[in-house]
Amino acid sequence: MNSTFTLRWQMLALFVLLCAAFYYLSPVLTPFAIAAMFAYLFDPLADLLERWKLSRTTAVSIVFLALSLVVTLILLLAIPYLSRQVAAFIGHLPQWLAWMQDVALPWLHERFELDFEMPDMQKVITVLQSHWKEAGGIATTVVAGISKSGFAVISWITRLVVIPVAFFYLLRDWDVMIQKIHDLLPRSIEPTVSRLAREADETLSAFVRGQLSVMIVLGILYAIGLWAVGIDVGPLIGLIAGLISFVPYLGSITGILMGVIAALVQYGDVTHVLLVVTVFVIGQLIEGYVLVPRLVGEKIGLHPVAVIFAVLAGGEMFGFLGVLLALPVASVLMVLLRYANERYRASQLYAHESPEAPADAPAGVGEPIVVVSSSRQAADPSSVVVRKGDADNGPRTK
């Protein structure tokens, strides 16, 4: 009992030290966290290449070169195109707002007798356009700012270079590092920690690898569909709808609203409105029947509300590093909460009987039942609580 108590205090002290280190070293740890995230994402691909009889270094080199090519193409092609799309979106805003003021709001007032007070459209347009012009000069401002300090330039370039270098070595040695961490675990808690780590990996991979893939594919499908329909800013609307689709129906609803307004302002007919809605209906069908079953499967990912809260809380506490670590930490916390729930249900506190059952209570009332939370618990005798009162009815499973 004494040794267990001491071990728990030691682990608590280690946890506090790690949190303090993350807080004070977050600027230095950020490039390594980005590299570790990429290593985690692409480790299955490197393992697949290894199963094709390639060495680990060769497999990692192929993954590294392919990813470098993709990132370069995105920087050279996608970013300038998206920049033009955003500029077009800002340029169309006066038409959109004028349509809402002159067409949509009078129609709502006539049909439903709803009164809305719209803000001064010209002021809204001026503010948005001025901010976009300022945003367009961010790169120039940043370059001018960091050029004033040679140390800042060196620090910025060093952190940028550290990401691909650390990614390569972390990916190459990923399996070795995981095995060494496993070997360092105290033998008394190794089975429990290993089980929780596997569950955390399943939860995290279900969201990061699975849901992220769904978001990217949906964004591309929506962008191509709206471009084919003929919406000027369709690709931008499609990408926005895809990237926020981790919250169920939020992406499609947002995309439909923006796409319908764009179609009405640009064409002013029902045909293009129906085409926009068709694009998102087809996207939802593909997501539900093809993408989610194949890319996410039966894994239980993070709840959308948990994702939003984790990202916001991580950013508030640890800045950009906290945003990067939000999902891994949330996955671990969810697994720990499920484990705590299992332990609570298997404890005497949960199983404690009431002192007396009412005299007129029907048979079975007040009598506890057998609770088995999962097949993993059933395999662990310590997690199963057998309680009296069910000899005639047999065990029940929850």
> Over 70: is that where the pLDDT of 381 sits?
no
So what's the pLDDT on residue 376? 41
User: CA–CA separation, 148 vs 297, rounded Å?
Assistant: 51
User: CA–CA separation, 164 vs 68, rounded Å?
Assistant: 9
Query: CB neighbours of 221 closer than 8 A, spacing ≥ 6?
Result: 238, 242, 282, 283, 286
pLDDT digits (tens, 9 = 90+) for 204-236: 887 777 888 888 999 999 999 999 999 888 888
User: CA–CA separation, 224 vs 63, rounded Å?
Assistant: 27
So what's the pLDDT on residue 153? 65
- Three-state DSSP class for residue 371: strand
Mean of pLDDT values over 118-123: 58
User: CA–CA separation, 385 vs 345, rounded Å?
Assistant: 8
How many CA atoms within 13 Å lie on the side-chain side of 217?
A: 17
Q: Identify the bridge partners of residue 371 per DSSP, sorted by sequence position.
A: 385
Mean of pLDDT values over 305-332: 80
Tokens of 232: 């000027």
> Over 80: is that where the pLDDT of 237 sits?
yes
So what's the pLDDT on residue 280? 94
Q: Domains of the chain: which residue ranges?
A: 25-184, 187-301
> Over 80: is that where the pLDDT of 368 sits?
no
So what's the pLDDT on residue 185? 83
* Distances in whole angstroms, Cα of residue 227 to Cα of each of 40, 85, 218, 232: 34, 12, 14, 7
pLDDT digits (tens, 9 = 90+) for 156-204: 777 788 899 999 999 999 999 999 988 988 888 888 888 888 888 888 8
Share of the chain above pLDDT 70, in %: 75
Q: What is the mean pLDDT of the chain?
A: 76
Q: Are 255 and 278 in contact (CB under 8 A)?
A: no
pTM across the whole model: 0.64
User: CA–CA separation, 351 vs 385, rounded Å?
Assistant: 8
So what's the pLDDT on residue 299? 58
